[in-house]
């Protein structure tokens, strides 16, 4: 990873870069994965350019294992000269890839673009990507920011701060807790940017497809708890695809087909969201099969030139506050951390837990947090020695009696809602509770309005909710 003058960060040119899971990666002088392509596309060659974050860059797999390399190999084996350029970069959103395409992507003369920006875009954080890009552009253009005297004064001014609170570090820094969450790329803006890229592709005579990514949650059969944060973005991708005639590769569907043939989730994903070499092969095969079925390149898959005029896709409510302080940011998931680093992170979390956000003005008002289903890993409190690494504890909820559907609310000692679930029928399921919430009340309501409440703690993490006889 390296600083970038327009896109905030990027990849530095290098060979044999450590890439997790014992793999290495090659980064070319353009700043994307793989050997540097010729500026002018050779005669008789087709080019595919892919976007995306670390899942599509290929975090944890080698250069020949990533889906883009395997896709090129499949076409070559079928007798077609197809070069696949993988411009995926860890943590990138469509806002950054729109810039990348304008800076050099379109000039590489692709015949097809594969758009795979979702995970980083829908992340709840404390900033909008384009705000940071604009302020970075302003700073770069302002002569004052280049003066050594201004830099020295800014450093001195920072040291004069009398604030004793530690800084909560996300992608930027602020005193105390972040004041609310925003999408890194808000849903409407995400649709606008995707639409702009597709319009550019249409004008240039370039085809396009979408990839809808997957993770361990989506590959589970049973889903409980709040709706995942990415649902509106998936809905928006489907709507754009229908309206602009852009095919969508559904990774969840492809992976489940592989699981039906005998593969396990662990065979396909080496963590919650990054595919293994087999997972990349399954993705490559899914893209190859779709393109062959669509008749590409004879049928070039050029998007419709019409601007999107489909239904309005509504986003879900913004969470009021969470204890992750940006742990949902892709940067946290991007690097391996040592035990010492994890210990420092946990100590900082404990300090933040001791100084929580201010109480709400309205008494008994619930604060609902729309939790992204993937809990972020981290260490347990520093004692006893050699603690397991976790920032949540698991509450097992058992519901019986009454009439479904049911609603389960988990409240902390201040009456704030820290988790929720809706069930169609009685049963048992787990919920993850933040590690700083040491006691909860589990409240069950059925469709007839019957209600029961029980207490639970990390030491007694079961809540048996029985209604009626």
CB 11 within 8 A of CB 34: no
Over residues 139-164, mean pLDDT: 72
The predicted-structure confidence for 282-292, as pLDDT tens digits, reads as follows: 999 999 999 99
Same domain, 341 and 314: no
CB 251 within 8 A of CB 211: yes
Q: Which two tokens stand for residue 322?
A: 């969470």
pLDDT above 50 for 15? yes
The residue from 310, 336, 362 where one domain ends is: 336
- Residue scoring higher pLDDT (100 or 222): 100
Q: What is the pLDDT of residue 393?
A: 84
69 C-beta neighbours (distance < 10 Å), count: 20
Same domain, 130 and 225: yes
Over residues 431-452, mean pLDDT: 87
Strands 46-50 and 82-86: parallel
Same domain, 211 and 304: yes
Same domain, 290 and 349: no
| CATH, residue 417 | 2.60.40.10
Could you tell me the maximum CA-CA distance found in the chain, to the nearest angstrom?
A: 77
Same domain, 294 and 371: no
Structural domain count of the chain: 2
| CATH, residue 46 | 3.40.50.1110
Full-model pTM: 0.67
Same domain, 261 and 136: yes
The residue from 336, 369, 401 where one domain ends is: 336
Q: What is the pLDDT of residue 244?
A: 96
- Going by pLDDT thresholds of 50, 70 and 90, the confidence category of residue 159 is low
Over residues 96-101, mean pLDDT: 98
Same domain, 224 and 288: yes
The predicted-structure confidence for 141-153, as pLDDT tens digits, reads as follows: 877 777 778 777 7
The residue from 312, 336, 360 where one domain ends is: 336
* Chain mean pLDDT for the chain: 83
Same domain, 343 and 229: no
Strand order in the sheet with 440-445: 417-423, 406-411, 440-445, 451-456
pLDDT above 50 for 380? no
Residues 6 or more apart whose CB falls under 8 angstroms from that of 426 comprise 399, 400, 401, 402, 404, 406
CA-CA distance, 79 to 89, in Å (whole number)? 30
- Residue scoring higher pLDDT (52 or 418): 52
Q: What is the pLDDT of residue 338?
A: 63
pLDDT above 90 for 353? no
- Going by pLDDT thresholds of 50, 70 and 90, the confidence category of residue 18 is very high
Strand order in the sheet with 427-434: 427-434, 392-400, 462-466
Residues 6 or more apart whose CB falls under 8 angstroms from that of 147 comprise none
Q: What is the pLDDT of residue 317?
A: 82
Same domain, 413 and 393: yes
Same domain, 129 and 258: yes
Same domain, 242 and 303: yes
The predicted-structure confidence for 289-332, as pLDDT tens digits, reads as follows: 999 999 999 999 999 998 898 899 999 887 654 434 334 333 34
Domain that holds residue 428: 337-466
Look at the alpha carbons of 409, 411, 416, 418 in this order and tell me if their dihedral is positive or negative.
negative
Same domain, 285 and 389: no
């Amino acid at each position: 990873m390296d600083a970038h003058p327009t896109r905030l960060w990027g990849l530095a040119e290098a060979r044999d870069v450590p890439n997790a899971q014992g793999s290495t990666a090659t980064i070319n002088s353009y700043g994307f994965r793989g050997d540097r392509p010729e500026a002018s596309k050779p005669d008789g060659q087709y080019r595919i350019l892919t976007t995306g974050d670390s899942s599509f860059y290929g975090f944890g797999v080698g250069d020949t294992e990533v889906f883009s390399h395997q896709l090129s190999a499949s076409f070559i084996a079928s007798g077609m000269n197809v070069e696949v350029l993988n411009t995926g970069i860890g943590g990138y959103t469509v806002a950054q890839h729109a810039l990348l395409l304008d800076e050099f992507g379109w000039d590489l003369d692709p015949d097809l673009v594969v758009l795979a920006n979702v995970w980083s875009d829908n992340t709840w954080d404390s900033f909008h990507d384009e705000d940071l890009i604009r302020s970075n552009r302003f700073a770069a253009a302002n002569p004052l920011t280049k003066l050594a005297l201004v830099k020295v004064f800014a450093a001195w001014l920072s040291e004069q701060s009398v604030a004793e609170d530690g800084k909560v570090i996300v992608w930027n820094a602020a005193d105390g807790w972040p004041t609310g969450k925003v999408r890194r790329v808000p849903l409407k803006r995400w649709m606008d940017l995707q639409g702009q890229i597709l319009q550019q592709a249409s004008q240039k005579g370039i085809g396009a497809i979408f990839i809808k990514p997957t993770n361990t949650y989506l590959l589970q059969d049973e889903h409980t708890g709040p709706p995942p944060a990415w649902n509106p973005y998936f809905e928006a991708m489907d709507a754009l695809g229908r309206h602009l005639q852009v095919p969508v590769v559904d990774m969840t569907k492809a992976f489940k087909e592989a699981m039906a043939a005998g593969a396990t989730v662990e065979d396909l994903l080496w963590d919650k969201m990054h595919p293994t070499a087999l997972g990349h092969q399954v993705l490559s095969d899914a893209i190859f099969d779709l393109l062959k079925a669509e008749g590409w390149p004879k049928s070039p898959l050029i998007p419709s030139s019409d601007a999107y005029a489909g239904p309005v896709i509504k986003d879900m409510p913004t969470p009021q506050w969470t204890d992750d302080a940006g742990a949902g940011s892709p940067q946290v998931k991007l690097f391996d951390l040592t035990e010492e680093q994890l210990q420092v992170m946990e100590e900082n979390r404990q300090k933040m837990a001791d100084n929580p956000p201010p109480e709400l003005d309205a008494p008994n008002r619930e604060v609902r947090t729309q939790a992204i289903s993937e809990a972020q890993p981290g260490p347990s409190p520093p004692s006893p020695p050699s603690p397991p690494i976790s920032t949540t504890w698991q509450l097992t909820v058992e519901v019986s009696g009454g009439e479904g559907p049911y609603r389960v609310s988990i409240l902390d000692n201040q009456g704030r809602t820290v988790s929720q679930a809706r069930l169609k029928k009685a049963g048992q399921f787990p919920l993850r509770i933040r590690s700083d919430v040491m006691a909860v009340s589990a409240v069950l309501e059925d469709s007839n309005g019957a209600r029961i409440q029980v207490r639970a703690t990390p030491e007694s993490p079961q809540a048996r909710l029985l209604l009626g006889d």
